[in-house]
Every structure is written in C-alpha cells, then in structure tokens.
Structure 1
Amino acid sequence: MSPFRTRSTRTAAALTLVLAGALGACSQGSTTASSTAATGPHIAFLAEQTSLRYPSSDVPNFQISLEDSCPGCTVDTFLAATQDEQNSQAAQALSAGATVLVVAPKDSAGAATIAQQARAAGAKVISYDSLIKGAPIDGFVTFDSGKVGAIGAQTVLDSSPAPGSVVVELDGDEANSNAAWVASGASSVLKGKIETGYQAWVPDWSADNAEVAMRQALATLGGRKIAGVVGANDGIAKGAAKALREAGYTGALPPISGQDAEVSALQRILTGDQAVTAYKPMPKLAAAAAQMALALARSQPVTTTTTTDNGAGAVPTTLLDPTAVTKQNIATTVIADKFTTVEALCAGAASQACVDAGLRS
C-alpha cells in the first residue's frame, strides 16, 4: 500500500471520493481530492498501514465527524508504511499549516519525533489508537487494549481447557505500545489459571508472521495439547488457524482470538476457525478524536475519561471499551451497528455458515 493524502472538501460527495481514493491508494499511489476555501482550523490525520481499517473506516469517519462539527475545517490525511515516512508526512502537514496532528503511530517510540516537531511549530498532537511514547503530547484516544487481551484469554478459559493443556500467546508488533497492553490484559486473566506454553511477538501484526510463529509454537510444544491461541489481532488469528490446519488439525480448532472484527475474521468465527474477535467501533473512536482535535484547535477545554503515562507526562485520555463478538452475537453487534452487512459477511464460502447461524435463509 502506498501513502495517500486527501484534503476535505466539506461536501458529502467529497467524503465518498475520500474513501474511494483511500482504497485506491492501496495500488495506485497518492491521490488528492479538491479543496474549497478553508474558514476553520487545519487538522491532519496520520495513520499507519496495519490494515485496510484506516482508509476504509477511520479516515472517512474522522472526516465525517469534523464535517458535521466544523464545515470550514481543512483536514489533511496521510498513510505511511514506516515510521520514518510518517515523520516526514508530519513535517509536511505542519509546513502546510496544520495546527493539530492526530497520529496513529507505526512505532510508538519513533513517533516521538512527530511530537517534537509539532511542539517546535506550536501545534498540538493527539495519539490515536496507539500511544506515542517519550515526548509530551496533548491527548490520547483509544480503546482499552487490556480488555482486548482479556477477551481473548477469557474465551480460552471459558472453553473448559483439558488438564495439562497450555495456551499459545501470539502478541502484536513489539514496537507498538498496544501490543504490550493487549499482552498484559491477557496475562491478567491467564496468570495462575493455565500455563502459557509459548509466547511470541508478531512483527507487523501480520498473518504471515503469525503463521511462522504458530509453527514454531507447535515445534516447541512437541505435541502438548493446546487449549487455545490468544491472538492480538485478526491477522494473527488467521495465521494461527492456517498453521494449525496445515499441521493436521481437523474438525474444531482450539479457540483462537483476535481483534478488529474484520469480515474475514467474522467469517472464520462462523465456520469455527476463530472463536472471538474484539470489536472496536471505529466510528466512535474517530468521532472522539475529531471532537478532541477540534477542541484543541479552538483552545477549548477537552473532556476525557482518564490519563495515561507515556514516559513524558500524564496524557489526557479518552478510553473506549471493546466488545467480544462471537457466533452468537454477530447479528446484535457488528451487523446491528452497520459495521458490516449480511451481504458482505455471507459472500462466497461463508454462505452456508450464515444460513447455519441464522443470519440468512
């Protein structure tokens, strides 16, 4: 995926173009939407390329939220594959006049450069989803990643694991602050109740790297029974499931957890190759970030729920709760919230699973 840059035009049609351009950027490079004369604050949203969730959900929902509250705002949006690239994009946004940067960092420590750049320019920084560490920032908007890990761990315990069985814990990218947070949440549930037989950090939170890690887990455990796999996201869950199937597992797999409620993960939940995903309603996260960014841009009071220590001070934080999505509540969570549709979920090989689950006749 190549980085993209869009600028809000403050019209409904333009927001459609933003989404189309963002998705197109995955294969076609940079895109820019046209802009009308700005009369309000200039805000930049910088995201990393963990998955398609940023161009398909976070970006358009952030812009829609600002459009509703501030029709005259200018919003520049960037995606980056590396932290160095994101740091350069932040410099570009500041040079263009952005007074607030909303940043989903690729590397929590490496993104401190952005906070330092912004402070030198007199701009504010909000950390989005993952925490920027080691430099003063002005706000943090995220879901409680400890509860993400707890959801996965509790799902394994609730499956009545066999005596002597062990958990495999596949955590996210060690450079990302959320990875350790998810891991701590899982440990808080598992500790003293079941042995973690294998643990690994998964670079880039990717399915391919998770598959390699799961193969290594199987080799290391040498035939010990696996009670479940606590996966830090849906890509990791995908890789773990693939490795187990290729290792000869048939029928129901040990419970595997993930997060993000990706359509492919929901389909695996329907077919039994994943037990649960931690669903984080991205429109709520984007709206909270837009509200905080606008308040900071206008030098207005910011309403938050707690504070977070990022190593450079207490950061005002808005913390949202994830929801456990299983086969039993897909209809009342992601479908009811219009996070996805029955048509998208039940396409192709998942069609019969949807019928079996009562999602369609």
Structure 2
Amino acid sequence: MNTRMRRAAVAVAAGAMAVSLAACGSAKSSGSDDSSASSAKKGDDIKVGLLLPENKTARYEKFDRPQIEKKIKELTNNKAEIQYNNARQDANLQAQQVDTMITNKVDVLILDAVDAKAIQNSIQKAVDAGIKVVAYDRLAEGPISAYTSFDNVQVGKTQGEALLKALGGKATKSSKIVMINGSVTDPNAKQFKEGAHSVLDGKVTIAKEYDTKEWSPDNANSEMETAISAVGAKNIAGVYSANDGMAGGAITALKAAGITVPVTGQDAELAAVQRIVTGEQYMSVFKSYPQEAQIAAEMAVALAKGESLDSIAKDKVSSDSAKDVPSVLVPVVSLTTDNINDTVIKDGFYTVADICTGKYKTACDKIGLK
C-alpha cells in the first residue's frame, strides 16, 4: 500500500502543524478508534517507556531523549516514571527491549523503530498487554495509537531543491549526481528518496545511487569511493546525501579524490554545520527536534492517562497495517550559511562558540557568524 502525503504547513514558527495523509487499499484498524480515550483514567503517576533506535546519529541522545523526558516530567508534575533504552541499531535488541517494557508494565510506549516492519509483532504484543504505542519519527507497522514525525517527502524535496540551487547553471540533464540514500529498513528513507527524486529526476542524471545500510557513514564513504571510480572524479557535479553522518563519510572520499562539489545532508549535526561554514557541505535539513519530542510526550501522557488526543493531533496517517492514526507532522527548513543564526542558534541547538571553534573561526568570520 502506498501512503500519500499532503503538506498543510510551511513555517516552523507556526507550531505543531499537521499534514493529512491517506492510504489506498485495505488495512487493519490501528486501534485508533479507542486510542483517544480509554475506559480507565489515570493521574500523573504513570509509567512511560522510551525506546530510541541508535546512537551513531547525535540527535537521539542530545536532543530527542532529554526533550521527551523533560516534557513528560513537566506534564505529570514530576511524578511519571520513565524507562529508557537505546537499541544501538539492532532490531533484535529492540524487540527484547519491548518485551522488557511489557514485563515492567509501562502504561505507554514511545517507540522509534530500528526496523519499522520487523517491530510489528512486538507492537502487537505491547498492545495486547494493554500498552498504547506512540510511533516516533518513523512510522512503525502495527496497531499504533499515535504518530509524530516530520514531513519526510518534503525533507527529500528540500534537499533536492537545495542541490539544484547550488548547481545553478550546472544543473542540466547531463550533470551527473551521486545519490546516497538511507537504510531500506527505515520508512523515512524511502520518503526522503521519493521527495528527492521528484525534484531531481529530469533535471540531472543520477549516475550512481545507493541505499546505505544502517545509515552508516563508513558505508557511505565506501559507496562514494566506488562512485568516483565508476563515474570519474571530473564528472561528478554533486552529491545527494540523505543525512549528515553519511554526508561526512562521502565528503571524506571526495576530499581524498580532490573533488569539491555541493553535498546535501539532514539533521543539522554540529559537524555538519561546521562543514557548511567551511563550504565542504552545502546544506542540511533543520528539523525542530524539541517540537517533535514535546508532541510525542504530550501524546504519550494523554494516552497513558486515558485522555483524548483531539487537541494534539488534528490529522491522520495510514500505513500498510494501520489506518487513520492520529498524527502530527512538523515542518522543516533548509539550513545553509544564510540562516545558521535563524535556525540552530536561535533554537538553542548550538552557540556561535560551539560552531566557531579553532580552525572554523576564520570561516565563521567570513560569513558573519559572530
């Protein structure tokens, strides 16, 4: 089944905006008919399980976890018990962690799946045990009660549009681009890829394309080396990288071959922002993780207390196994040298001192980042 997304918001300042999604064909009910309110309401003394997928990407431990935990405590007068685990990119380990959460009798589970399809049985087990599940950042299969993420197709479009802008007059049908996409086990990666292709196809030639296992920077580095050998160093006009970690791996290979071309990214990692400052990476996608995290916390607390999600999630999303799941999608922004101050610095991700250390100071001065 294909999920179709319709974006309804464009400004980050507008808050927790939503995008309507629909699915075609038949699907089992997500259980959302009763997810907005349960028969027995609870107070602030709740148990919340939080399972994040990996720790190679800086965002999960630096932004997502602390923001989710902070908001849950705020919403429950510091009475909620939060149980946390990171799967370290191991789908089997994450399944075991779900089992542990079931054994520990959490009231609700916030889950960012390592493998969105493989986790389906674990989600079913949790739901059978009376635990509501909030799919976080990735649309996990199974009877989830709520979902929050970013407009992932728009992320890919934003990256593709930025790459074309960086190429300028070099963006022709004969221009050769290398695409380094995310893992096939991540449904977001498929949507990033879809969005990027919708912008790039017909405008440039995709000379080489890879689906990178586990979003690994090392794998991206190897793929870039292979692409350089196959396409030719002088023939590569630009690189689409689905995230910042892989962009770093690709850029290492490009530098070793003496190639300087625009490279995209996503997640606004500190190292990526510094590469943007120096011109090694053209852009990243800035996503308000605090906003996404706070929405997930609000959903989880409401579900654990047996309260309605109507005031939080105005729209619906469908997957292959669930339909009409209450959802909130947060908009994104293209991050370049032009808006570092208005994005990562303004939102408190980093300070100028964090970015403009040592060897980056001169480059920061050149772009007026002080």
Alignment match of 1:67 (pick from 63, 70, 73): 73
Change (3 A) 1:272 1:192: same
2: distance between equivalents of 1:296 and 1:126?
A: 9
Structure 1 gap ranges (5+): 1-37
2: distance between equivalents of 1:245 and 1:192?
A: 28
Alignment pair present for 1:201 and 2:207: no
**Bigger mean CA offset, 255-264 vs 65-74:** 65-74
2: distance between equivalents of 1:141 and 1:233?
A: 19
Q: CA deviation at 1:322?
A: 1.3
Alignment of 1:265-284 (within 5 A): 265-284=272-291
2: distance between equivalents of 1:305 and 1:213?
A: 41
Amino acid at match of 1:217: A
Is the contact made by 1:152 and 1:256 (CA closer than 8 Å) also made in structure 2? Answer: no
TM-score, scaled to structure 2:
0.83
Alignment match of 1:83 (pick from 88, 91, 94): 91
1: distance between equivalents of 2:224 and 2:204?
A: 19
Q: CA deviation at 1:57?
A: 1.1
Quote the residue 1:44 is aligned against: 49
Alignment match of 1:127 (pick from 135, 143, 154): 135
Give the SS at the match of 1:258.
coil
Is the contact made by 1:155 and 1:255 (CA closer than 8 Å) also made in structure 2? Answer: no
Alignment pair present for 1:332 and 2:339: no
Is the contact made by 1:48 and 1:86 (CA closer than 8 Å) also made in structure 2? Answer: yes
Is the contact made by 1:171 and 1:183 (CA closer than 8 Å) also made in structure 2? Answer: yes
Is the contact made by 1:62 and 1:289 (CA closer than 8 Å) also made in structure 2? Answer: yes
Q: CA deviation at 1:305?
A: 4.0
Quote the residue 1:214 is aligned against: 224
TM-score, scaled to structure 1:
0.85
Q: CA deviation at 1:224?
A: 6.0
| Deviation by residue 1:234-262 (Cα, 9 ceiling, x = unmatched) | 0111111111111122xxx2211111100
Q: CA deviation at 1:353?
A: 1.2
Alignment pair present for 1:358 and 2:368: yes
| Deviation by residue 1:185-227 (Cα, 9 ceiling, x = unmatched) | 1011112222211110111112111111111111222356223
Larger relative contact order (Cα-Cα within 8 Å, sequence gap ≥ 6): 2
| Deviation by residue 1:13-38 (Cα, 9 ceiling, x = unmatched) | xxxxxxxxxxxxxxxxxxxxxxxxx9
Is the contact made by 2:44 and 2:305 (CA closer than 8 Å) also made in structure 1? Answer: no
Quote the residue 1:185 is aligned against: 195
Task: Report the identity percentage.
Answer: 33
Give the SS at the match of 1:179.
helix
**Which consecutive aligned stretches of 4+ in structure 1 deviate over 4 angstroms post-superposition?**
none
Is the contact made by 1:256 and 1:274 (CA closer than 8 Å) also made in structure 2? Answer: yes
2: distance between equivalents of 1:305 and 1:189?
A: 29
Is the contact made by 1:260 and 1:277 (CA closer than 8 Å) also made in structure 2? Answer: yes
